[in-house]
Amino acid sequence: MSMSAARSVSGTRERLVVIGGDAAGMSAASQARRLRSAEELEIVAFERGHFTSFSACGIPYWVGGDVPDRDQLIARTPEEHRARDIDLRMRTEVKEIDVAGGRVRARDVDSGAESWTSYDKLVIATGARPIRPDMPGADAPGVHGVQTLDDGQALLDTLARTRGRRAVVVGAGYIGVEMAEALINRGYEVTVVNRGSEPMSTLDPDMGLLVHKAMEGLGITMVNDTEVTKILTGDDGRVRAVATEDAEYPADVVVLGIGVRPETALARAAGLPLGDHAGLLTDLAMRVRGHENIWAGGDCVEVLDLVSGRQRHIALGTHANKHGQVIGTNAAGGYATFPGVVGTAVSKVCDLEIARTGLREKDARRAGLRYVTATIESTSRAGYYPNASMMTVKMLAEHRTGRLLGVQIVGREGAGKRVDIAAVALTAGMTVEQMVSLDLGYAPPFSPVWDPVLVAARKAAKAVNAATS
Ligand SMILES: Cc1cc2nc3c(=O)[nH]c(=O)nc-3n(C[C@H](O)[C@H](O)[C@H](O)COP(=O)(O)OP(=O)(O)OC[C@H]3O[C@@H](n4cnc5c(N)ncnc54)[C@H](O)[C@@H]3O)c2cc1C
C-alpha cells in the first residue's frame, strides 16, 4: 500500500474530522489510527449522543432480556477511543459544514457553546433518522423508537413502570418483528399494525405470508394493509391505544419501527451530492462525488446494488462497518474500495428465521429483467436426524441465462444463514445450473444430502430450461 505524506497545507500534521461516533464513523477513525500515528494524523470525532461504537442491532435482544446488560452492546467506549489518540468530543453536534473553508461548526449539546474546527479530511457518518409518524399522540409518553441505547433504556423503563401488558408495534420490517419478539419474551400481548400486505416487505408477499402465519402461531395479532391514523392518550397523557381508520388497539406501550431515512440535512445544506433516496453519493472509494477530501459511509449514503445496477439506501450495520474500514484506509492515504451490495439480510422472530438476498420479483421487474421462480420446502437436517425442521426456499433466476437473481428463506433453526450461500453465488455471478453442483458440506446433523438451497437451484434450473426450450 503506498501512502501519501500526511502534512496539511499549513505545514502542521493533517487533521481528519469525523462526524458521527458509531459504526461507520468510529470504524473509519480507528482504521485511520491503525495506519497513521498521532504524530502524523490528528483525528477529531464529534458525537452528539451519549455513546460510541454501540450495537443498535442488539437492542431488541437487550429489551427482550437475552442480553442482560446494556454495556455488553458497547464495542468501544469514548475512553477506549481516546486511549487510542482519537480526540472524541461527546455530546457535541456538528451544525454546519463549510466545504469551501474546510471547517465544521460544532455545538456543545449541554452548554450550547459553539466553535469552528478546520479539517484537511472529513468523514461524514451521520447515520439515519427513524421516521416518526406525523400524527396526534406520536410523542406521548409510552410511545418509543429503538434507534439508540437511550431509546432502549427509555423503553425498558416504561416496561418496568407499566402494569398493563398490551403492546402495539407499528411496522413489520425487521425491527418491528424483532421488537415483537422482545415484547413476547417480556410477557406482553403483542399486536403488530403494518401498512404492507404482509410483514417483511423485503420479501415477496408469498414468503411474507409464511412469516405472517408463523407470527400468528406465536400468539401475535397481525393487522396488515392498515395505516395507523392516531395514537390515543388517556387522562394522564400517556398512550392508551393505537387507532386505525376503523379500529382501536389498546396499548400500554407502543414501539415504532416504520423505517429510517439517511441523516443528510448537514450534507444537503453544504451542497454535497445526494441521490434519489436522499443518501450521499460516493465513488467506490467511499469518497463523496466531486470532493477529493470528503468521505461518507454507513446509513447516510446510498450504495450500488450489484444485481440490479441501481443505487439504493440500505441501513445495515454490516455495510456501515465495511464502509468505515474502507474510508479509514483511504483517509490515511491507503487504497481500498467498497464495490457494492447484493442485498443480504437476516433476522428472526422467536424461532422463525427470515433471510433474503438479491432481488424480489418486483425488483427484477423494475430492473427490466425477465425471470423464473422456484419455491421448495425441505428439512434443515437429514429427515431422520432429531430436530430436523422445515424451511421454504424461494429462488429467482434470469430467463434464458439462468443467472441467479435472488433467494428468500423462511424456516426454523439453520434456515437463515443458508442465505450466505446465495449471497456468494450472486456476488460471483453464478447461474442456478452452476449452483446445483456447489460442493457444500454434508452430514446428517447439518443438512440433507441435497442442501435446501441446492434443491431450490435444481428446481430453478429446470424452470429456466423449460422456459427457454
Ligand atoms: C433496533 C435495530 C436493530 C438493528 N439490527 C441490525 C442487524 O441485525 N443487522 C444489521 O446489519 N444492522 C442492523 N441495524 C442497523 C445498524 O444499527 C445501522 O445500520 C448502523 O448502526 C449504522 O451505522 P452508522 O454509523 O452509519 O450510523 P449510526 O449508528 O446511526 O451512527 C450515526 C451517529 O452519528 C451521530 N450524529 C448524527 N449527526 C450528527 C451530527 N450532526 N453531529 C454529531 N453526531 C452526529 C448520531 O448520534 C449517531 O451516533 C439495526 C438498527 C436498529 C435501530
DSSP letter string, 195-257 = SSSSS-TTS-HHHHHHHHHHHHHTTPEEE-S--EEEEEE-TTSSEEEEEESS-EEE-SEEEE-
Known catalytic residues?
57
What type of residue is 394?
K
Nearest CA to ligand 1 atom 46: 20
The protein residue whose alpha carbon is closest to atom 34 in ligand 1 is 20
The confidence score (pLDDT) of residue 6 equals 52
The three-point CA angle 406-412-418 to 5° equals 35
pLDDT of residue 12: 75
Q: How far is the CA of 425 from the centre of ligand 1 (A)?
A: 28
CB 19 within 8 A of CB 94: yes
Say if strands 390-398 and 371-379 run parallel, antiparallel, or are unpaired.
antiparallel
- Give φ, ψ of 231 to 5 degrees: -110, 120
Q: Which ligand 1 atom is the nearest neighbour of the CA of 298? A: 26
Q: Are 104 and 117 within 8 A, CB to CB?
A: yes
pLDDT at position 84:
97
Q: What is the pLDDT of residue 10?
A: 56
Nearest CA-CA partner of 64 in 177, 163, 148, 162: 177
pLDDT of amino acid 364: 97
Q: How far apart, in whole angstroms, are the C-alpha atoms of residue 395 and residue 375?
A: 6
d(CA 415, CA 353): 6
Mean pLDDT by groups of 10 residues along the chain of 469 residues: 49 91 98 97 98 96 97 97 98 98 98 98 98 93 97 97 96 97 97 97 98 97 97 97 96 97 98 98 98 98 96 97 98 98 97 98 96 98 96 98 98 97 98 98 97 98 93
Q: Which residues pair with 110 in a beta bridge?
A: none
Provide the grid cell at 34: 491503525
* 6 C-beta neighbours (distance < 10 Å), count: 20
Residue 468, pLDDT score: 86
Give the DSSP per-residue string, 13-47. BEEEEEE--SHHHHHHHHHHHHHS-TTTEEEEEEE
Residue nearest to atom 35 of ligand 1 (CA): 20
The answer to pTM > 0.75 is yes
Dist. CA 49 → ligand 1 center (Å): 11
Residues with beta carbon inside 6 Å of ligand 1?
19-25, 46-49, 56-57, 59-60, 93-94, 125-128, 146-147, 175, 263, 266, 298-299, 315-318, 320
Nearest-atom number in ligand 1 for the CA of 27 is 25
Q: How many CB atoms lie within 10 A of CB 32?
A: 27
Give me the sheet containing 228-233, strands edge to edge. Answer: 228-233, 239-244, 248-250
Q: Which atom of ligand 1 is nearest to the CA of 127?
A: 27
Residue with cell 433516496: 277
pLDDT, position 8: 65
Distance 45 CA to ligand 1 centre (A): 15
Residue 11 pLDDT: 62
Separation of alpha carbons 32 and 12, rounded Å: 18
